Amino acid sequence: MILFYSSYPSARVVDEKMKRFFWISLLGFLGAFLLTVTAPAQTSQDSESFETFAEWCVNKDQISADARFTVEVILRVSGKENCDEAERWSSRRTRLEFSHDTIKDVRPFASFEQLVVLSLHDNFVRDITPLAGLKNLRKIDLSDNKVTDISPLKELTNLSELDLERNEVSDITPLENLTNLVDLNITSNDIADISPLINLTGLTDLRASVNKISDVSVLSNLTALNILSLNMNLISDISPLKNLSGLVDLRLIENNISEWPSHLLLENLESLYLSGNEFSAAPQLTGMPQLARLTLSDNQIEDISSLSTISNLRNLILNKNRIWDIRPLSNLSELRQLDLSTNRIADIRPLLNLSELRQLDLSTNRIADISALTGLVKLSVLSIHQNRLTDISPLQGVKNLWELNLNENNILDISPLEGLANLNRLGLAQNNISDISALTTLKELKYLVLTGNEVSNITPLSGLTSSTRLELDYNDISDLSPLSKLENLEILYLSHNKIGDLTPISDLKKLRIIKLDYNEIIDVFPLSGLENIWQLILNDNTSLRISSFRALRKLSGSLHLENCGITDVSSLSHLRNLSFLDLTDNQITDIRPLSNLTGLHSLRLDNNEISDLSYLSSLTGLTHLYLRGNSLDEVDFSTMKALHNLKRLYLEKNNISDLSFLVASENLENLYLDYNEISDLTPLSSLTQLRHLFISNNDISDLSPLSALEGLRSLDLGYNRVSDVSPLASLSDLRVLNLEVNQIRDVFSLSHLNLLRELNLEENQVADISPLSGLSNLTSLNLRGNPYGSDTGIDVQTCPVQPESVCHF
């Protein structure tokens, strides 16, 4: 055999050459083929590289849909139809604003080189590369978009104001050379490292709240700062701020700060916000002679003794703490506003000498004795609701009171209020009051709340002719005649009483809102002359004669008729000025008479017996339509196409299986389809304006049609048959995601949904939860009923994100 192969050495060489020739030829062919296939795409890309807006405009029918949309928006804003005219219009503009326009593609802006100010607030912009050539820009607003890469901004060195709030930026390195920046807003992004700001020494206003910042040492170099906002970050050490002596306003709400460094002397600071941190005692704020406003709410503060020396304080907010001893406040004689609500205070005698107080909030404490308030004669706004008051006689001397809130106490006697002639607003809800005769002297009262008392006789109200708003819900009122002369009344709440006759209010021409639910009303004819009513609430008047509505020819605004036993709506057919109609919980089958109500924007028909929606097609102004719990198994496509302005559609608890009727509903923002028989989501793929989608309790397994819905912020897919969540990977704007009770094993596709705040994975088959470790914005993660840890060795009680309280096992 060896001799055989040795006899033909040239044959092996030829064979190897042939093989090489074959592979080279094949690769050449494939290369040529690929070039041929991709050539049209390259040509298409090149064809969208235009130098002027006029060229974009002329070719708009050949360019991508997103670029064409942008061109059309610019044409609309310019008011021009001719492309050359629009070009001339844009070339003369140094300022342009395109807010709330759902723009995705900014390439048509690339030629607007003369622009000094550009606003693209609240759009869907991801790629800002085309803006890199706008070198004259001094101010650009890109807030509320989807920008991740800001490197195109690095050449815009003339920028003095930059707004990037609510985007998806994590790397701000491209800003490091924008040394002309004076005002920078990077709030609500995904930023942890702010070191690139070190050379921006001209900054006077920096807003960087709602990020992941923990290290603020770089800020020690930004000595020109006047305003600094770092709310809702991960900051614990604020000592690097010691050099910022020019600070006037400092905001550090909701961080991890537990102490104030003794060397941090911000001598020009006027306003300091430290709410929502971890202080157990009020910080020692020495060396701040200008400090006038301090907020320390929502900490765990018990001891406030350090505040006793801040003599110039005018506004002090200490609500939601654990304070019981307020003696340190007794010397703060300059205080104008003091909020001590939601604490543990019983003794308020230390307030006795705070004679400059104008606003005082003592709500939700343990106060029974308010005698210390007698001398606070400059008080104009006082809230003591939800305490233990029975005696309010100390208020007799507080003559300047303009607003007084005494809701939720144990007050029986309100006679001490008789002399408070300046009272404009008075809250007495949820006490034990039956006698309101003391109110007869309060002629300046405009806003009175008596909800939840034991009042039956409202005669003392007959002279309160200045009143514009009365809230008398949950009492024992049957006779409205004392109200007949209150000609200035605009808002009247009377729900949960025993009212049958509306005649006494028939001449109150200024009435705009009347709340009469849960009464004994039969006839609404007395309201026929009230032409200014724009909200009439009659829910749960089960004996109401619907025929009496024929008299309300000019009723406009909203009409609420929930649970009124209605079967026939023909008596409503003339109410063409209505914008809102609620017919929930009735027995309606035929909605034909509603076809005339062409002014409707919102229609509620939940829990009726409706099966045919075709008569709604004339209601083209509808933006909200509620059809929960009816007998719908199919919806006519032409009807939904006619309702092209719909923003919210509620179809829960019907028998719907086919969603093809939604294809034309491109303006929908909120869609509710829970508890139906849906398996195919394909028709939803075109609803790119959707922000909130609820489709739990159906028969869904394939989520691929959802991958295009990049604007979704809330998505509920609970109780379906989902196993593959990879189509959700592109939904980077999601804040809330419910996937409970499905068949999910792999959650890697969720690992980059960095804006998620709530994620529910209860009752799935997830074994490895480590991909969730990067979701640092989570405030709630439900992992109950999963086998996590079984295959990975991960401690089943170890939360993948911090703090661990986020997790529910």
Distance CA 591, CA 184 (A): 54
Domain residue ranges of the chain, discontinuous segments joined by +:
679-809
Q: Please say whether the beta carbons of 209 and 230 come within 8 A.
A: yes
pLDDT > 70? residue 245: yes
Kindly give, in sequence order, each residue whose CB lies less than 8 Å from that of residue 507, ignoring residues fewer than 6 positions away. 484, 487, 529
Q: Which of 168, 174, 214 is nearest to 197 (CA)?
A: 174
Distance CA 155, CA 157 (A): 5
Distance CA 732, CA 751 (A): 10
Average pLDDT for the chain: 92
Kindly give, in sequence order, each residue whose CB lies less than 8 Å from that of residue 237, ignoring residues fewer than 6 positions away. 215, 216
CATH class, domain 679-809, is: alpha beta
Distance CA 151, CA 155 (A): 8
Give the count of beta carbons closer than 10 Å to the beta carbon of residue 2.
6
**pLDDT score of 798:** 77
DSSP string, 590-650: --GGGGG-TT-SEEE--SS-----GGGTT-TT-SEEE-TTS--S---HHHHHH-TT--EEE
Question: Where residue 563 falls among pLDDT bands split at 50, 70, 90?
Answer: very high
pLDDT > 50? residue 537: yes
Q: What end-to-end distance do the CA atoms of the chain give, in Å?
A: 72
Kindly give, in sequence order, each residue whose CB lies less than 8 Å from that of residue 595, ignoring residues fewer than 6 positions away. 615, 616, 617, 618, 619
81-125: pLDDT as tens digits: 999 999 999 999 999 999 999 999 999 999 999 999 999 999 999
582-596: pLDDT as tens digits: 999 999 999 999 999
The amino acid at 547: S
DSSP string, 694-751: E--SS-----GGGGG-TT--EEE--SS-----GGGGG-TT-SEEE--SS-----GGGT
Please name the helix (run of DSSP H) or strand (run of DSSP E) that holds residue 78, with its range, or none. helix 65-78
**pLDDT score of 392:** 98
**pTM passes above 0.85:** no
Distance CA 701, CA 687 (A): 19
Give the count of beta carbons closer than 10 Å to the beta carbon of residue 18.
10
pLDDT > 50? residue 247: yes
Q: Please say whether the beta carbons of 518 and 539 come within 8 A.
A: yes
161-208: pLDDT as tens digits: 999 999 999 999 999 999 999 999 999 999 999 999 999 999 999 999
Going by the DSSP 8-state scheme, the letter that residue 3 receives in this structure is H
15-43: pLDDT as tens digits: 444 444 444 444 444 444 333 333 333 33
Strands 602-604 and 161-163: unpaired
pLDDT > 70? residue 482: yes
The amino acid at 315: N
225-235: pLDDT as tens digits: 999 999 999 99
Q: How many residues can be counted in the chain?
A: 809
Q: Is 490 helix (H, G, I), strand (E, B) or coil?
A: coil
Distance CA 476, CA 93 (A): 65
Distance CA 67, CA 612 (A): 40
**pLDDT score of 154:** 96
pLDDT > 80? residue 565: yes
Question: Where residue 791 falls among pLDDT bands split at 50, 70, 90?
Answer: low
Question: Where residue 483 falls among pLDDT bands split at 50, 70, 90?
Answer: very high
Average pLDDT over residues 285-310: 96
**pLDDT score of 358:** 98
Average pLDDT over residues 213-241: 97
Distance CA 273, CA 249 (A): 8
pLDDT > 80? residue 10: no
